[in-house]
Copies of this chain bind each other. A is one copy, B any other.
Amino acid sequence: MSKAELKKVSDTKITKFVKKGEAIFSEGEKLNGVYCVRDGVSKLSKLSPNGKDQIVKLATQGAVLGQRSVIAQETSNLSAVAVKDMEVCFIPKDIIEETLSSNPDFAVEVLRHMAHDLKEADDVIVNMSQKTVKQRVAEAFIYLRDNFGEDKEGYLSLTLSREDIANVVGTATESAIRIISDFKKLGLIKTSGKMIGIYDEKRLIEMAKGH
């Protein structure tokens, strides 16, 4: 973006704080702008017909929420709820649209970003359909560590409830719990309250591949 555009954006942006558990927007809602994540983590989920919530993506610092819906000029197909206290800034739709149509570089940049998201979505589809729940749980832990890090004691920095883990993996909460319990018994992970830490990364990765 040019300097003038950047200025316009920073003039109009509104910073918002969202507490863990609170929604930024919900499925079906009409969005009149996008939200940039400055801090914290949000889950993007979609309610399935059977009443369960499928988490499609976890978004953290640097991610932009609502982009897809604003560009497609549709209501949101996902809900965004904070899983860790957040600070987001809001950018009105008008600015996005205007910048898109006046600045090809910006459009291409957004395009690249969306192309990347699409590839990730394809990968998730393959994972969901071709891997067992056990493999997906193992994968989820690796993913959580790689994307959100771990504290000095080796526990994952992003702590999700067992239900959220199940919703990321796409399974029943009890199934996820049982597998976590198995992993612990096998010495692959350690737990402390709802916190989870990776013990034996190597074997966990093996597990994710199916062994």
Chain A residues in the interface with B (C-beta under 8 A)? 46, 48-50, 52, 54, 56, 68-69, 71-74, 77-78, 100-105, 107-108, 110-112, 114-119, 121-131, 169-171, 209-210
Q: Which chain B residues lie closer than 8 Å to A126 at the CB level?
A: 46, 48, 54, 56
Residue of B nearest to A107 (CB): B107
For this complex, 13 residue pairs linking A to B, each with C-beta atoms less than 8 Å apart, are: A48-B126, A48-B130, A50-B131, A71-B112, A72-B115, A77-B122, A101-B108, A104-B107, A114-B115, A117-B118, A118-B121, A121-B121, A121-B125
Residue of A46, A68, A100, A171 most packed against chain B (CB within 10 A): A68
Q: Which chain B residues lie closer than 8 Å to A77 at the CB level?
A: 119, 122-123
Contact A71 B124 (CB under 8 A): no
Name A111's contact: one of B50, B52, B103, B107 (CB within 8 Å).
Answer: B107
Contact A111 B71 (CB under 8 A): yes
Identify 15 new A-B residue pairs, CB closer than 8 A, beyond the known A54-B130, A104-B104, A107-B111.
Answer: A46-B126, A48-B129, A50-B210, A54-B129, A68-B119, A71-B108, A111-B111, A114-B114, A114-B115, A121-B121, A124-B125, A125-B125, A128-B128, A128-B129, A129-B169
Q: Which chain B residues lie closer than 8 Å to A74 at the CB level?
A: 119
Residue of B nearest to A54 (CB): B126
- Once the chains are docked, how many angstroms separate the CA of A166 from the CA of B170? 20
Q: Which chain B residues lie closer than 8 Å to A102 at the CB level?
A: 104
Q: What copy number does this chain have within its complex? A: 2
Q: Which chain B residues lie closer than 8 Å to A48 at the CB level?
A: 126-127, 129-131
- Once the chains are docked, how many angstroms separate the CA of A64 from the CA of B52? 34
Contact A101 B100 (CB under 8 A): no
Q: Which chain B residues lie closer than 8 Å to A121 at the CB level?
A: 118, 121-122, 125
Q: Determine how close the nearest CB of chain B comes to the CB of A49; give it in whole angstroms.
A: 6
Residue of B nearest to A74 (CB): B119
Q: Which chain B residues lie closer than 8 Å to A122 at the CB level?
A: 46, 56, 77-78, 121
Q: Which chain B residues lie closer than 8 Å to A50 at the CB level?
A: 130-131, 210
